[in-house]
């Protein structure tokens, strides 16, 4: 005889077996999962300038090659490679003893020339008085006058030689003509250096200024035609005042454009080969983060500031070529909203279209929203960090049962163990 089991009988047997194994369902049959909590925030309204990102290089405002102006032996180097110096600081000294001897000789020659001039002057004065009375001849008078002229010229030459000798002696002390950072010292103690003359003197070191510094970049002709007048005005003002056009600079690896400056120079012609014009901005560099020769990203303001809406990048999703956000209404319903995006600004993204300032969008827990229209539990969050706002002190967490409510019992209780087992 065959025995038939209905579905209800089979289900009852299955539940009995589960109960016998000590496992029980956690919730009542027929209940639904609550909507997932999702952080929501409104776009950030802000005024931002219209900018253009370019590439450029950093350049020192001044570069000086320190070369020896007199020949001699280096006897003292007073700075180290790469040291920062002030204008007038002594860098090194050349042996000045030979030049002191030359100066002493020229001073003696000058003294002798002065004595000869005085003697020639006396001879001329006597001849001048005597020539009128015919006591001396005209020839003797002319000779006295010529000797006076020669003595005067000899003294002038001695004076010039004395000035030159003193100048050479002063050049034995090499000083920094500008404030800046010294490069590698090319001539150390004991080396003999060559004086500057027909050929350049020996290169001792290179000195570059460090604060302020230039950021140099090229601007295409089309953009130049649109904003050239503003750039010229900024350059004429030296990058100062209301006419200044702001420029931001970032080094490789830096976020945003932390170094601020302004346009201070515009070239006088467009390069016909590249179709661009050279622009230079001046930036303060008190912390010495900017180094001459470094590559830099340059952000140039090409239009006055305008109001924009900003959202966090993590709130923006993609479907093929469409970028969209999920708008959450007051009842927790979600909806698909395509948006048009602009540039980045301090980690946020400019939304140029598709979103209103009052729209509330989902910013976190987006993986729990499986399809647009799915209900969620809105939780206030920050658009900047996408983290949920902290609840008020004493408030229950989101999704917790109201105060005083009794917890529901499990739908099926685990069977008790048989006594004595």
Q: 404 — alpha (psi -120 to 50), left (phi > 0) or beta?
A: left
First to last CA, the chain: 37
User: Do 209 and 179 meet the contact criterion of CB atoms below 8 Å apart?
Assistant: yes
Q: Which residues pair with 281 in a beta bridge?
A: 215, 263
Residue ranges of the chain assigned to CATH 2.40.30.170 = 51-60+213-305
* Tens of pLDDT, residues 240-275: 888 899 999 999 988 888 999 999 999 999 999 999
CATH of domain 62-94+176-208: 2.40.50.100
pLDDT at residue 23 greater than cutoff 60: no
Cα R_g (the chain), whole angstroms: 44
Q: What is the mean pLDDT of the chain?
A: 83
Which overall architecture, per CATH, does domain 37-48+307-380 show? Beta Barrel (2.40)
At residue 15 the predicted structure's pLDDT band, cuts being 50, 70 and 90, is very low
Residues 310-316, mean pLDDT to the nearest whole number? 92
Exposure string over 37-76, b if 16+ CB within 10 A, otherwise e: bbbbbbbbeeebbebeebebebebbeebebbbbbbbebee
pLDDT at residue 7 greater than cutoff 60: no
Residue ranges of the chain assigned to CATH 2.40.50.100 = 62-94+176-208
pTM across the whole model: 0.63
Q: Cβ neighbours of residue 139 under 8 Å, at least 6 residues apart?
A: none
Exposure string over 119-136, b if 16+ CB within 10 A, otherwise e: ebeebbeebeeebeeeeb
Residue ranges of the chain assigned to CATH 2.40.420.20 = 37-48+307-380
Quote the CA–CA distance of 214 and 296 in Å, as a whole number: 11
Q: Which CATH superfamily is domain 51-60+213-305 in?
A: Efflux pump adaptor protein, beta barrel domain (2.40.30.170)
pLDDT of residue 397: 52
At residue 73 the predicted structure's pLDDT band, cuts being 50, 70 and 90, is very high
DSSP, collapsed to helix, strand or coil, labels residue 410 as coil
Quote the distance between the C-alpha of residue 201 and its chain's center. 36
Q: Cβ neighbours of residue 281 under 8 Å, at least 6 residues apart?
A: 214, 215, 216, 217, 239, 247, 249, 261, 262, 263, 264, 298
CATH of domain 96-171: 1.10.287.470
């Amino acid at each position: 005889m065959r025995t038939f089991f209905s579905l209800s009988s089979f289900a009852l047997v299955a539940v009995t077996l589960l109960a016998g194994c000590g496992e029980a369902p956690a919730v009542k049959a027929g209940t639904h999962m609550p909507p997932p909590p999702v952080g929501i925030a409104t776009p950030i309204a802000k005024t931002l300038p219209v900018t253009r990102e370019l590439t450029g290089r950093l350049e020192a405002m001044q570069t000086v090659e320190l070369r020896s102006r007199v020949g001699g032996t280096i006897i003292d180097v007073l700075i180290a490679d790469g040291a920062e110096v002030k204008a007038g600081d002594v860098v090194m000294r050349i042996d000045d003893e030979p030049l002191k001897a030359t100066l002493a000789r020229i001073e003696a020659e000058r003294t002798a020339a002065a004595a000869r001039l005085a003697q020639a002057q006396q001879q001329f004065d006597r001849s001048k008085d005597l020539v009128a009375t015919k006591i001396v001849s005209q020839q003797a008078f002319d000779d006295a006058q010529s000797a006076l002229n020669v003595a005067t010229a000899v003294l002038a030459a001695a004076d010039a030689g004395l000035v030159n000798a003193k100048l050479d002696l002063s050049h034995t002390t090499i000083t920094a003509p500008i404030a800046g950072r010294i490069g590698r010292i090319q001539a150390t103690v004991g080396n003999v250096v060559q004086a500057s003359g027909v050929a350049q003197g020996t290169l001792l070191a290179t000195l570059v200024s460090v604060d302020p510094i230039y950021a140099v970049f090229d601007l295409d002709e089309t953009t130049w035609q649109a904003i050239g007048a503003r750039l010229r005005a900024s350059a004429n003002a030296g990058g100062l005042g209301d006419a200044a056009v702001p420029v931001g600079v970032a080094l490789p690896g830096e976020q945003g454009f932390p170094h601020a400056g302004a346009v201070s120079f515009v070239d006088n012609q467009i390069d016909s080969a590249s179709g661009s014009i050279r622009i230079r901005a001046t930036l303060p560099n008190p912390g010495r983060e900017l180094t001459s020769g470094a590559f830099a990203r340059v952000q140039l303001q090409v239009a006055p500031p305008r109001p924009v809406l900003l959202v966090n990048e993590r709130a923006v999703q993609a479907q093929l070529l469409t970028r969209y956000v999920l708008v959450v209404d007051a009842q927790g319903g979600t909806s698909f909203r395509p948006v048009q995006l602009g540039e980045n600004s301090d980690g946020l993204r400019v939304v140029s279209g598709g979103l209103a300032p009052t729209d509330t969008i989902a910013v976190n827990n987006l993986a729990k929203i499986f399809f647009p229209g799915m209900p969620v539990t809105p939780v206030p969050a920050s658009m900047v960090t996408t983290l949920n706002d902290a609840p008020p002190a004493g408030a229950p967490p989101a999704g917790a049962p109201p105060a005083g409510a009794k917890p529901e019992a499990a739908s099926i209780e685990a069977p008790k163990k048989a006594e004595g087992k």
